[in-house]
Chains A and B, each alone.
With several copies, the nearest count.
Chain A
Amino acid sequence: MDLATDDVLQMKNVRKEFPGVVALDNVSFEVRRGEVHGLMGENGAGKSTLMKVLAGIYQPDSGDILLRGEKVRFQSPRDSLQKGIAMIHQELNSVLDMTVAENIFLGRELTVPGTGIVKRRLLKEMTREILQQIRSDIDPNRKLRSLSVAEMQMVEIAKALSYQSDIIIMDEPTSAITDREVNILFGVIEELKASGKAIIYISHKMDELFRLTDRITVLRDGQYIATRDTSELTQRDLIQMMVGRDLTQIYPKEDIEIRDVLLEVKNLSRHNEFRNINLQVRGGEIVGIAGLMGAGRTELVESIFGARRADTGEIRVKGKPVTIRNPKDGIRNGIALVTEDRKLLGLNLKASVKDNIVIANLSAYTYLRQIINFKAEKAAADEKIEQMNVKTPSRNTIVGTLSGGNQQKVVLSNWMLTNPDVLILDEPTRGIDIGAKSEIYKMISRIAKEGRGIIMISSEMPELFGMCDRILVLYQGEITGEFSRAEFDQNQVMACASGFRKGEAVI
């Protein structure tokens, strides 16, 4: 038997049901030694669930897992870790008040035999070595809380690698790290592959999958669609398989008449976050903000909206200076902010679709500003569900049970109901599949067409280039460049994002 092509892992006819959802319906899946196996599918297709079954987090309702030909049952993550399966989870899973070393060795602390006493110094040393492998020099004594999101993600990656597992699952590992780190990770993956390990790689980013994987398996609606060699696939085939239809034009950019200035920001500064920011947004215009992770983009827009308070500077809405001290002021002045983290900041996951859609504009559906007008509220919610094409069983469905893309549409609906002049979108498509993405782009275009101004933060260059009329680039809290549509150039924008001023000669 040729070991190199032997299936190290087989999942057979796995079924997993959650109340009201069949997350996995008879899915089969094989992984070989020494391959990088991509897993693709729309939001809610069941990718994470399948991997969680493999990692022992969920127990399948039926179906088998064969590891190196042997049937296994995992009752807990511990079982699966012990059998050589490690996972980098889609959501960050760090203990923020513990140190890097403590996090990496959590659950398998080395102890003085028979005493339970942790060998602290040894673990720190080992941590340093592990971090070395991913060319990181983070101090093992630092608390996770003091790290940037990207650093945290790197710690998680280091942790998963340190198990020396045969199978490593990576569920969207690059959604929060910068290009430099992505490249390091890819290097590590190549090494792992060369040493005969199997990597299962989940991502919504096509380019990564084509660059990295040997084979790709596609899931749709909890069902297995197909597994193909990557080399045989085109992007179009893949989308076809995922979405079940052809998606020709992803970016529906339209020419829209640019109108008067709606929002003007002058010399806005906030200590340690951003300095002397000037920007304008006109009706019908989509202004992009590019920059690396940690450039201060989120902080800037949060200050414009009122979620933070700027130290100095001026904000004008339709020419009139306004004071914005809290989100309420922002909303009152016609500004809306779709936050970057919808689960943490955007939604009440325990409440219904309807309640989430109307919350920011609830006053409009009341008598005497307090008593709720149920009829008006329902009508508004239904209208938005229809308009935004939210796929939900009913308006009373609990939002937490919807897929990511649909949750994002609920957030958008909520803000559109406030009828904003300026809509700010912070990473509006992060972690969202390509089908849902294209729908959200369509909505953004439509919103611009209504004469509203849009600010869009994104870490994905193609998205900014595809959608924006103008792009501002932020580097360490300062604007280093502004580009009009005609000037869009990947290299120039990247240079500004890395600290060069626009026009400064960088080849």
Chain B
Amino acid sequence: MSIRKQKLSSVFFKYGVFIGLVILCLVLTFITPNFLTAQNILNILRQVSIIGMLAVGMTFVIITGGIDLSVGSILALSAVVATSLAHPDTYPLIVPIVVGLLVGLGCGVINGVVVSRWKVAPFIVTLGMMTAARGLTMVYTNGRPVINLSDKYNFIGGGYVLDIPLPIIIFVGIALIGVFLLNFTKFGRHVYSIGGNESAARLSGVNVGWVQTGVFALSGLFAGLAGIVLSSRVMAGSPVLGQGYELDAIASVVIGGTSLMGGVGKIGGTVIGVLIIGVMNNGLDLMNVSSYYQQIIKGIIIILAVLLDKKKS
């Protein structure tokens, strides 16, 4: 009896956040008739795809024990640069995409190099980048959104492939790449080892500087991609895109069970974390809950999810 009870509760805690997501979905299915429809599920997935891409990159950074506050700003910088090359009848589609990704990558590499060479705390480096990249975005656009984009460009965020919105496909692709890198490659191993015990990793010959640069580069690259998708979805490269997204991405990662102390975490958990926030936003909107109360609920859920997760160990 007691053993079974213990087992049950241990299962609950092990998959706590996942079960939380399932319960949330069940409740919403009963309360709001429109929740469990194919259309709404696709809606939710499309809505979370942007934060999702940021969160996958963020997972790598957080597992190494770092944090990346600059993803929202990098997203915007990549978006405005990409869109400025995406007017109809100018360059082929590949140009804005590649340049946008390179901008994201570049910012990420700068973050990584400053963190790993100069040993400045990631919080500070990315706080500085967050401020500076937003400023650059403003300078680049003079504060005005970049508009008049080609249809091809707008297809990225607005199009469908086999009835599935393209952003969802991109997000799933990024998540799979994340899983692959983190769990199947040497790089992934090194990411865990640095977060678990940096000096042990160093002493084992892990090139800590490279790996750190790598995770920030990855986070920047995914932020660049998110910027392309988002600007295409809203069909404009607005310089205010992505403000505050870093906090949503971090919250998703942490809700998904990745520890801010580093060393542990999974992309799967992050995806669940992203979905919890997405489902919650969607459900509260469907139930017509005021945005003010939504904020209060969201704040409490962030803390509760982590609390639930802590009980696991």
A residues bordering B, Cβ < 8 Å? 19, 55, 57, 76-78, 81-82, 87, 89, 93-98, 102, 106-109, 111, 115-118, 159, 305, 307, 326-328, 330-331, 337, 339, 344-351, 355, 359-360, 362-363, 366, 369-372, 414
Contact = CB atoms under 8 A, between A and B. Distances in A.
B192 A360 contact: no
B204 interface: yes
Interface in B191-206: 192-193, 195-197, 199-206
Contacts of A326: 202, 207
B263 interface: yes
A89 B192 contact: no
B189 to A, nearest CB: 6
A344 B264 CA distance: 18
Contacts of B189: 98, 102, 106, 109, 118, 355, 359, 362, 372
Nearest to B207: A328
27 contacts: A57-B203, A81-B205, A95-B193, A95-B263, A97-B264, A102-B193, A106-B201, A106-B205, A111-B185, A118-B184, A118-B185, A159-B204, A327-B204, A328-B205, A330-B205, A344-B197, A345-B200, A347-B200, A350-B263, A350-B264, A351-B263, A359-B193, A359-B201, A362-B186, A372-B185, A372-B189, A414-B204
A93 B186 CA distance: 19
A359 B200 CA distance: 10
Nearest to A339: B203
B187 interface: yes
A326 B195 CA distance: 20
Contacts, number: 152
A111 to B, nearest CB: 5
Given A97-B196, A98-B192, A359-B206, A107 B184 contact: no
A331 B204 CA distance: 8
A348 B201 contact: yes
Nearest to A374: B184
Contacts of A347: 197, 200
Interface size class of B (residues with CB under 8 A): 20 to 34
B186 A351 contact: no
A355 B204 contact: no
Contacts of B192: 95, 97-98, 102, 348, 350-351, 355
A57 B263 CA distance: 22
A370 B186 contact: yes
B204 A106 contact: yes
Nearest to B181: A116
A106 B187 contact: no
- The B contact surface, by secondary structure, is helix
Nearest to A78: B205
B196 A107 contact: no
B139 to A, nearest CB: 38
Contacts of B186: 109, 111, 116, 118, 362-363, 366, 369-372
Contacts of B187: 116, 370
Contacts of A359: 189, 193, 201, 204, 206
B312 to A, nearest CB: 11
A78 B196 contact: no
Nearest to B263: A350
Given A327-B202, A359-B201, 19 more contacts: A76-B207, A77-B205, A97-B196, A98-B196, A116-B187, A118-B186, A307-B203, A326-B207, A328-B206, A330-B205, A345-B199, A345-B200, A347-B197, A348-B200, A355-B193, A359-B193, A362-B186, A362-B190, A370-B186
A77 B184 contact: no
Contacts of B264: 97, 350
B61 to A, nearest CB: 17
B193 to A, nearest CB: 5
B200 A106 contact: yes
Given A348-B192, A371-B185, A93 B200 contact: yes
A328 to B, nearest CB: 4
A102 B184 CA distance: 12
Contacts of B202: 57, 76-77, 307, 326-327
Contacts of B313: 19
B185 A345 contact: no
A77 B205 CA distance: 5
Contacts of A351: 192-193, 196, 263
Contacts of A362: 186, 189-190
B206, B263, B313 pick with most chain A CB within 10 angstroms: B206
A187 to B, nearest CB: 25
Given A94-B200, A345-B200, A348-B192, A108 B185 contact: no
Interface in B90-147: none
A348 B196 CA distance: 5
B184 A348 contact: no
A87 B203 contact: yes
B257 to A, nearest CB: 12
B197 A94 contact: yes
Contacts of B206: 78, 106-107, 328, 359
A457 B192 CA distance: 30
Nearest to A55: B203
A116 B195 CA distance: 20
Contacts of B203: 55, 57, 77, 87, 89, 93, 305, 307, 327, 337, 339, 345-346
